[in-house]
């Protein structure tokens, strides 16, 4: 059995002048080596070969299609940048296939889109070979792209594990539940932002400047000189709901009655309910 030496540490007592302390002491341990995982090694090698093959295909396709697009008198930079899209399209679809390898329903769309992008890439390479009076070279370049796609598909089919019907349904339901939680979180954040903007606009309208600031003051000797005007109520429905919430009120009808007394106007039940939901989410 093969072993390897590992350096570890342990605490040992050490006494000086009658005072003992625990100090770290290094020591070596022989641990057994696990056997080589040849399946993993072979799979890693196959993926490395596919990656190199894809890199070669991207360079070849970009060179051929870029030269084809340059014939239209566009800038070489633009032509070769556009040429990369032919190869990158089906390569991105292959990445999506890998992510959805355990879900046959989700893998169909990226696989079909990948075939469309691959066909466009191969056709462009063949057209370039035909225009360059070397159709054979164009066909060989197109076969390289198809071979890279086929090789990747073989590796993917080997790696993807087929799930039985019940397990697949369980995975689908679980993915839907988690996706719903993520979606609801995003919707709540969006509603909170919209609610904040609406509250800010309402506050801005309530605190708008006087449209006629230069009007003369009323005559102090007039018939209403002894009447002291009451200050306008600046307590909003949202503020009143917040105060009721902080006071421990949770029932919608009780909060609505409090808001009506605090603001002097009967609030809308939907508005009170909306503010209460926002406070529950924030809590």
Domain co-membership, 48 together with 157: yes
Question: φ, ψ for residue 33 (rounded to 5)?
Answer: -85, 135
Among 162, 179, 207, identify where a domain stops.
162
Domain co-membership, 43 together with 153: yes
**Is there a domain that residue 210 lies in?**
no
Domain co-membership, 8 together with 55: no
Q: Which tokens belong to 258?
A: 């409090």
pLDDT, mean over the chain: 82
pLDDT score, position 76: 86
Closest CA to 43 of 114, 100, 117, 98: 98
pLDDT score, position 213: 52
Give yes or no for a contact between 152 and 159, defined as CB atoms under 8 angstroms apart.
no
Looking at the 3D structure of the chain, how many domains does it have? 3
d(CA 103, CA 155): 16
DSSP character at residue 266:
P
Domain co-membership, 68 together with 131: yes
pLDDT score, position 10: 92
Domain co-membership, 11 together with 112: no
**Is there a domain that residue 74 lies in?**
yes
pLDDT score, position 26: 93
Among 162, 192, 208, identify where a domain stops.
162
Domain co-membership, 68 together with 10: no
The pTM for the full model equals 0.53
Residue 34's SS3 state is coil
**Is there a domain that residue 246 lies in?**
yes
Closest CA to 114 of 139, 88, 140, 138: 88
Tens of pLDDT, residues 217-230: 554 444 444 434 43
Question: What is the span of the domain harbouring residue 27?
Answer: 3-32
Alpha helix stretches (DSSP H) within the chain: 38-70, 76-99, 104-131, 135-159, 165-206, 237-246, 252-263, 269-282
Question: φ, ψ for residue 24 (rounded to 5)?
Answer: -75, 140
Tens of pLDDT, residues 107-164: 889 989 999 999 999 999 999 888 887 888 889 888 988 888 888 888 888 877 778 8
Confidence of residue 22 (pLDDT cuts 50, 70, 90): very high
- C-alpha pair distances (Å), 176 with each of 112, 182, 185: 23, 10, 14
Domain co-membership, 10 together with 50: no
pLDDT above 90 coverage of the chain, percent: 13
Domain co-membership, 157 together with 127: yes
């Amino acid at each position: 059995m093969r072993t390897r030496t590992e350096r570890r540490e342990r605490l040992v007592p050490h006494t000086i002048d009658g005072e003992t302390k625990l100090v770290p002491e290094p020591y070596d341990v022989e641990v057994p080596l696990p056997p080589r995982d040849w399946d993993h090694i072979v799979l890693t090698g196959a993926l490395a070969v596919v990656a190199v093959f894809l890199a070669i295909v991207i360079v070849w396709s970009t060179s051929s299609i870029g030269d084809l697009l340059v014939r239209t008198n566009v800038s070489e930079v633009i032509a070769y940048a556009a040429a990369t899209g032919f190869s990158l399209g089906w390569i991105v679809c292959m990445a999506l296939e890998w992510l959805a390898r355990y879900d046959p329903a989700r893998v169909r769309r990226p696989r079909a889109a990948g075939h469309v992008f691959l066909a466009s890439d191969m056709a462009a390479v063949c057209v370039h070979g035909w225009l360059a009076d070397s159709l054979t070279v164009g066909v060989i370049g197109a076969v390289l792209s198809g071979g890279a796609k086929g090789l990747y598909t073989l590796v993917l089919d080997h790696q993807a594990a087929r799930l039985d019907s019940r397990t697949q349904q369980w995975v689908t339901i679980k993915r839907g539940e988690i996706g719903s939680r993520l979606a609801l979180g995003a919707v709540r954040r969006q509603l909170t932002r919209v609610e904040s903007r609406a509250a800010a606009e309402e506050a801005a309208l309530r605190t708008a400047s006087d449209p006629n600031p230069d009007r003369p003051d009323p005559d102090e000797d007039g018939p209403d000189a002894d009447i002291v005007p009451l200050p306008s109520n600046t307590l909003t429905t949202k503020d009143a709901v917040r105060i009721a919430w902080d006071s421990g009120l949770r029932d919608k009808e009780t909060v609505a009655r409090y808001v009506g007394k605090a603001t002097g106007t009967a609030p809308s039940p939907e508005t009170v309910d909306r503010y209460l939901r926002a406070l529950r989410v924030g809590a």
